[in-house]
Amino acid sequence: MTAYMDHKDLANETIDSARETQIRDGVHRVLDRIATAEERAGRPAGDVTLLAATKTRDVGEIMAAIDAGIRLIGENRPQEVVAKMTVCATSAGSVVM
């Protein structure tokens, strides 16, 4: 891992309520923009899928995004997938990582 990742606890499941609200509001803004763009383009609702990149984000932040409606998660570092997937997969249901 990088020096940055050496001190980051990716398995951390706790985030403060302000950060959770920030994540939820951001996800909802993006999903609303996607829905508006789909409608404007004449595409069926749900035709466009949002892929959330979680590079350097911990489990608490990922779970907040999942709770806000994220269902597809991308991670490009295998060691991060291993650290995050166990917790996210058991509590997220239909999320694909």
Question: Does residue 1 lie within any of the structural domains?
Answer: no
pLDDT of residue 54: 86
Instruction: Phi first, then psi: give them for residue 52, nearest 5 degrees.
Output: -90, 125
Question: Does residue 59 lie within any of the structural domains?
Answer: yes
In total, how many domains does the chain have? Answer: 1
Question: Does residue 5 lie within any of the structural domains?
Answer: no
Domain that holds residue 53: 11-92
Tens of each residue's pLDDT in the chain, 97 residues: 555 556 567 777 889 999 999 999 999 999 999 999 999 999 999 999 999 998 888 889 999 999 999 988 888 887 777 777 766 665 555 566 6
Question: Does residue 34 lie within any of the structural domains?
Answer: yes
pLDDT of residue 10: 74
| CB proximity list for 87: less than 8 A, separation 6 or greater | 11, 13, 59, 63
pLDDT of residue 93: 57
Contact assessment for residue 14 and residue 60, using Cβ atoms and an 8 Å cutoff: yes
Neighbours of 36 (CB within 10 A): 10
Question: Does residue 20 lie within any of the structural domains?
Answer: yes
Eight-state DSSP code of residue 73:
E
pTM greater than 0.75: yes
